Structures are given as structure tokens and as C-alpha cells.
Amino acid sequence: MGGARRHPEGGQVVSCAALAMGLVAVFLAGCGGYLSQADGTPRVMIRVEGSDTMVNIAQAWAEEYHRQQPGVVVQVLGGGSGVGIASLIDGNCDMANSSRQMKPEEIADTQSSRGSRAVEHVVGFDAMGIYVHPTNPITGISIPELAAIFVEHPAITRWSQLGVTMPVGVPDTIIRVSRQNSSGTYSYFREHVLGKGYDMGLGSLDANGSKDAVALVSRTPCAIGYSGMGYATPGVKMVPVARQVGQPWIEPSVENAKSGAYPITRPLLIYTVGDPVGAVGAYMQWIMAEDGQEIVRQLGYVPVK
Amino acid sequence: MSADPVNTRDRPTLRRLAAVPAGCRGLTEPLIEWLIRICGWSAILFVAAIFFFVLREAAPMLFGKLDLVEFFTSTDWQPTSEVRQRYGILALLVGTLHVSLLAMAIAVPLGLGAAVYISEFSRGRTRETLKITIELLAAIPSIVWGFIAYMVLGPLIIRVTGAPVGVNLFNGSVVLALMSVPIIVSVGEDALKAVPDAYREAALAMGASRWEVIVRVLFPAAKNGLLAAVLLGIGRAIGETMAVLMATGHAVLIPRSLFDPVRTLTATIASELGEAVKGGDHYRVLFVIGLVLFAVTFVVNFVADVVVKGVGSERRA
């Protein structure tokens, strides 16, 4: 190793160090939530994560808001209500979308790890659709009948028990399409259709997402499943739902959900740590105002006002 | 430096070696030796680290309130119940075994048959085309297989068999078999190719038919490699997640027919871990399932090892 060789290496070390410092600077800037635009104005990043039911709507809000406020970037991730809440607790996102309410232990975790309480915002409503195959002749179903199909040790296992005659070649068996047991949609359905104190029956096809549940029903002629109303496709039929046996069946529509006539309507929630301030606060206000709520309406969900 | 395996007649290499100062070479050699050693040991290190991590996450439940008898003998899987959480994995265990065994029943004959054909019968272009196509098959991502199962195979099964559900045990097994066949073929073909031609020539010279050459000579000679091929296939089948999640129907059920939906251990972890409350009982039980999968893999490998050694000693005796 001659002394003459040292110089170029030394130069490399210096440039490497500069590069590393540059990377660290970029990294720190990213962590702080501020990125620099080409023209030097600061760009604000809001991180949103959570519910699979709400990911479409969150994406639409993010795009429209960015169009109106180019200085703000909203990053939207799905994964499920539980994932979003866990991420909020860990400080990895600013807003957690959720289709279920936070559990007491999650509220306690937020308080202990973020030093502030979790604040719940109702940003819209979702009518939960009951989906069947388009060839299924069923005209309506009641909540107690749904419960008797989906509960543990179900009393109803055949379509004929509901007075439905399936088309020729389609089995009479009811195939239940449910969701994975850790999803927000699953726990909402269990609590509000089956009622507290009941468990969902095993042996259902447990789809891994709102869209998958609908897709599975569209490919299984004797299936019945539940998923957000916004996930309807031409390959499935939504069944009107009655609160009790013998009561009128209510169509799942925005109007019926808004008036409260449709029996399985659930709130769409966003959780923040403390009352939102700054960029997140402005975004939250925008979501609750005219523009944000118009997007809720356009995507087939129910606005708050 | 007398042990250096340098060919003294290889002039370009000698010139290149001579150009590097001796001090540098003295440093480089041990460095590279160590690098290679680290690469070798890292495999063990990673497995140990993963096992430790899974065990750490599972331990509070495994050595705590988890009732192991219920865990292995009950089919009641209600980890998020508000009434009483129940953690019975019997249905998931049975589902995993059913899907894997059935997949192997399809994939092993198909894979070994294809390996024999490519290695012993096909020639020239046919052979090259087959090899490339099968390697391409191995490159298809598992989510694509799942999609095919869901969109194509499922409705087809309903139409042909009249089964109520298209995503079921049969669908899952077929998809897994198709996924493991390329591995079995390429590893199996390598094993058969490694058998010296002298074996084939000697057998043929003694009047053996081609069938006898393959069954009596090639299979025994290549058995370790063929077993490795089958094991890698089983490994893929047991460990596969996304495709089986979509193809099996993901229902907690002990199947009574080929066309009943089932659920596997891996798919359960994949679909539930993301939203399970971190550090909660459900989360930890999913890690206990991870340990069960570790144990299953270990037993499969161990049994294979014993089988290989057992057969070997018989032949020596």
C-alpha cells in the first residue's frame, strides 16, 4: 500500500460520507412528514391506513384533495381496520380508517404509547349488502333469518327452508361466504346481525377482503355473503333486508341507509391521536365538508349530513 | 503458499497474479475464505433466529393459558369470540395434511414421470422446449395460481361435478400439485442425469429392457436426488400460502368429500395475523401455529433422512 494510493481512496471516503449524510437528511425529512418540492415550497405528507371497506373512499379523497391542494400528499394504505389501528398506535400513520370501533385495550395502548387519547370521527355510513348469485330467486330476507344462517349450529342450512326453490342443477345447500375473523366487517356483522353473545358458525368460506367476498359469491350459485354496498358488481344480486320476519323488505340504497330504514347500516370511522391539528386537521375538516361528503355520495356510501 | 492450486502453465493467470502485490493477495484470500464461511453459517443463523423470534412471540401463550389438548383435538376455531375464545386447530391441521397429501399424490407420479421422459427418452429440440417450458411454469407467482383456481378452476368444478363450492380440497390440491411439479421435474431430472452412462450401458448390455433400466438401475442409483425432489415438492405444498388461501375456500371444516372446502395452517396465519391485536392471545396463538408448521417440516425432513440412510445400509449389508 504505497502512500500515493491513499489520495483517491481518501476522496472516495469524503464523497461517501457526503452521500451518506445526504441520505440521512432525506430520511429525516421523510420522517418529519415534510418533503421539499422542486420550487422549494414545503410539501406535507399525511399518512392514512386501515379499513379495507374504506380504502376506495380514502383513495378518492386523497386524489381530490391533492388536486385542490397540490402541496399536500395523502398516502393511503389498506390492510384492514386492525392494521390501521395498530399503525396509529405505533405512530406509523396520522389517520386510521376503521369499519369497527376501537377496542378498550387499543384505546389504552394509544394513550400509553402516543401520550394522547384516540379521537373518533364519523365520516360517513355504509349499508352492508347481503349478496347472492344473480340466478338465486330470493326476493328478501330478514335479520333473524340471516342470524339463523350464519350463527354457530345454524337452524337454516338449506334454501328450501327459506321458501326459495333454487334453479335446476343448483344444490339446495346454503354456502355461507364470510370474512376472516379479525376483520372489522366480520365483527360488525356478528354484533349487529347475530347479536351480542353469539358466535359465527364455522365452515363458512372466509374471504380475505370485501371485494373477494363479493367475487366468491358471484362464482358460487348457492352462496350468500355480506360486504359493503359499494362493492356490488354486475355478477351479484343484493337482497332487500327486513328488520323482522313479516316486516317489509328494505332495498339497500343510499336514501334508505340515510333515513335509517335499512337495518344494517354502520358508521365509517377515522381515528386520530388527539384532536387533529395542522395539515391533518385541515384535511379532516375538508372530508366533513361539502367536497369530501360529495365523494362519499359518489362512491355509493352514505354522507353524514 | 505451496498449497495454492495455481496451474504453472496458465500464463495469463500467472501474469495477473504477479501484478497484484503479494501483501494484497495475502489479505484477500482469508477474507474470501471468511466470506464463504459466513455465507455457509448464515443459513443456520437465519433459521435459528427465525425460530427464536417465532418462539418468543408464541411463548407467553404456549407456556401460559393455552390448553394444548384442546389446541390439537378440537375443531373449534373461534379466536375472536366475544363469548369465549377457543383455539382448536384440528380442522386446520387435517386440512393442511389433506391438501398436501393429495397434491403429492398428483404431483409425484406426474413430476417423476416427466423427469424420466426428459432425461431418458426425449432428444434434441423436444427436450430443450420441455425443459424451458417447465422452468417457466416454476416462475409463475403463487397469486396467479390462486387467481386461476378462483376464476377458472372453481366455476369449472361446479359445472362438471355439481358440487356446491368450486374452491375446495380438490381445487387446492390440483393447484398445489401444478406448483410443485416443476420443482420435482427439474431436481429429479438433474438426479437422473447424474447417474453415469456406464450404468445404463451395462444394464442394456445384460439384456435389460428400458423399463427395467429405469426402475431397477436408475431409480436406486438416483434415489437420494429423487427423494430430494419429492421433499422440495412437499415443502412447497405445505408452505404455500396465497394460492391455497384462494383455492381451498378457507373454511374451518373437516372435509367429508373431495369437494368440501378446507382451510390450511399457513392460510390461517396469512389471513388473520395482519389484523390480530399485536401481543394479544389471538396473535400469539397464530405464532404457536407457526411453531407447529416448523415441527411438521422438521419431522418430514427427519423421516426422509432416516429413510435415505436406512435404505443405504440395507443395500450395503
Distance CA A160, CA A6 (A): 88
Cβ contact (<8 Å) for B162 and A190?
no
Report the number of distinct structural domains present in chain A.
Answer: 2
pLDDT at B7 over 80: no
A204 CB neighbours in chain B (<8 A) are 251
A247/A142 same-domain check = yes
A112/A191 same-domain check = no
- Tally A–B CB contacts below 8 A: 104
Which residues, 6 or more positions from A127, have their beta carbon under 8 angstroms from its beta carbon?
A228, A229, A252, A253, A254, A256, A257, A262, A264, A265, A302
B154 CB neighbours in chain A (<8 A) are 219-220
Smallest CA–CA separation between B68 and chain A, in Å? 21
- Cα Rg of chain A, angstroms: 25
Within B139-280, residue ranges assigned H as helices are: 142-148, 154-161, 169-193, 197-205, 210-212, 219-221, 223-239, 242-247, 265-272
Nearest to A243 by CA among A92, A140, A99: A140
Let me know if residue A247 belongs to a domain: yes
Nearest beta carbon to residue A204 from set B163, B167, B251 = B251
Distances (CA, A) of A18 to A22, A202, B54, B200: 6, 59, 39, 64
Nearest beta carbon to residue A206 from set B155, B271, B277 = B271
A142/A242 same-domain check = yes
A112/A197 same-domain check = no
A144/A256 same-domain check = yes
Nearest beta carbon to residue A106 from set B23, B245, B277 = B277
User: At A96, which CATH number?
Assistant: 3.40.190.10
B166 CB neighbours in chain A (<8 A) are 219-220
Let me know if residue A201 belongs to a domain: yes
Residue of A nearest to B92 (CA): A203
Helix (H, G, I), strand (E, B) or coil at B159: helix
A104 φ/ψ angles, rounded to the nearest 5 degrees: -55, -40
* Rounded-to-10 torsion of CA B235, B241, B243, B245: 130
A155/A201 same-domain check = yes
Residue of A nearest to B161 (CA): A169
Whether the CB-CB separation of A170 and A137 falls below 8 Å is answered with no
The pLDDT value recorded for residue A88 is 93
A55 CB neighbours in chain B (<8 A) are none
Q: What is the identity of the amino acid at A67?
A: R
The pLDDT value recorded for residue B82 is 86
Cβ contact (<8 Å) for B81 and A106?
no
DSSP B34-74: HHHHHHHHHHHHHHHHHHHHHHHHHHHHHTTT--HHHHHH-
Q: What's the pLDDT tens digit per position in B161-220?
A: 988 999 999 999 999 999 999 999 999 999 999 999 999 999 999 999 999 999 999 999
Nearest beta carbon to residue A199 from set B78, B155, B162 = B78
Distance CA A143, CA B37 (A): 65
C-alpha cell at A145: 333469518
Cβ contact (<8 Å) for B271 and A215?
no
Let me know if residue A293 belongs to a domain: yes
A83 CB neighbours in chain B (<8 A) are 274-275
Helix (H, G, I), strand (E, B) or coil at B317: coil
* pLDDT interval class at B20 (50, 70, 90): low
Smallest CA–CA separation between B66 and chain A, in Å? 19
Cβ contact (<8 Å) for B274 and A83?
yes
Let me know if residue A23 belongs to a domain: no
A63/A51 same-domain check = yes
Tell me the sheet residues that pair with A191: none
DSSP A43-73: EEEEEEEE-STTHHHHHHHHHHHHHH-TTEE
Q: What is the DSSP letter of B274?
A: T
Max distance between CA atoms of chain B, in angstroms, equals: 82
C-alpha cell at A205: 368460506
Nearest beta carbon to residue B275 from set A80, A207, A212 = A80
C-alpha cell at A17: 460520507
Pairing state between β B77-78 and B86-87: antiparallel
Cβ contact (<8 Å) for B282 and A182?
yes
Distance CA B102, CA B99 (A): 5
A173/A116 same-domain check = no
Helix (H) or strand (E) holding B128: helix B124-138
Residue of A nearest to B22 (CA): A1
Domain chopping of chain B, boundaries: 11-64, 78-316
B23 CB neighbours in chain A (<8 A) are 1
The pLDDT value recorded for residue B17 is 62
Q: Compute how many other C-beta atoms are within 10 angstroms of the C-beta atom of residue A240.
A: 18
Domain B78-316: give its CATH code: 1.10.3720.10
- The percent of chain A in helix, strand and coil, each rounded to the nearest 5, is 40, 25, 35
A159 CB neighbours in chain B (<8 A) are none
Q: What's the pLDDT tens digit per position in B24-66?
A: 567 788 899 999 999 999 999 999 999 999 999 999 999 988 9
Let me know if residue A180 belongs to a domain: yes
Whether the CB-CB separation of B188 and B229 falls below 8 Å is answered with yes
Cβ contact (<8 Å) for B271 and A204?
no
Distance CA B113, CA B215 (A): 12
B80 CB neighbours in chain A (<8 A) are 181-182, 186-187
The pLDDT value recorded for residue B24 is 59
C-alpha cell at A234: 354486475
Pairing state between β A118-132 and A223-228: antiparallel
Which residues, 6 or more positions from B112, have their beta carbon under 8 angstroms from its beta carbon?
B184, B188, B226, B229, B230
The whole domain housing A61 covers 33-125+266-298
Cβ contact (<8 Å) for B275 and A204?
no
pLDDT along chain A (305 residues), means of 10: 39 44 44 48 84 89 93 90 91 92 90 92 92 96 96 95 92 94 90 92 92 93 93 94 94 87 92 92 93 89 84
A130/A261 same-domain check = yes
**Residue listed under C-alpha cell 398516502:** A75
A167/A243 same-domain check = yes
Cβ contact (<8 Å) for B78 and A202?
yes
C-alpha cell at A301: 356510501
A191 CB neighbours in chain B (<8 A) are 82
Q: Where are the beta strands (DSSP E) in chain A?
A: 34-36, 42-50, 72-79, 95-98, 118-132, 141-142, 175-179, 205-207, 223-228, 237-238, 241-242, 265-273
Q: What's the pLDDT tens digit per position in B223-244?
A: 888 998 998 888 888 888 889 9
A97 φ/ψ angles, rounded to the nearest 5 degrees: -80, 140
The pLDDT value recorded for residue B15 is 67
The pLDDT value recorded for residue B202 is 94
Which residues, 6 or more positions from A77, have their beta carbon under 8 angstroms from its beta carbon?
A47, A48, A49, A50, A84, A87, A93
A230/A111 same-domain check = no
B278 CB neighbours in chain A (<8 A) are 86
Nearest beta carbon to residue B164 from set A106, A181, A222 = A222
A162/A227 same-domain check = yes
Distances (CA, A) of B262 to A169, A193, A292, B35, B142: 23, 25, 42, 46, 18
pTM: 0.79
Let me know if residue A24 belongs to a domain: no
Give the residue numbers in B contacting A (CB under 8 Å), as ranges: 23, 75-83, 91, 150-151, 154-155, 158, 162-167, 245-246, 249-253, 261, 263, 270-272, 274-278, 280, 282
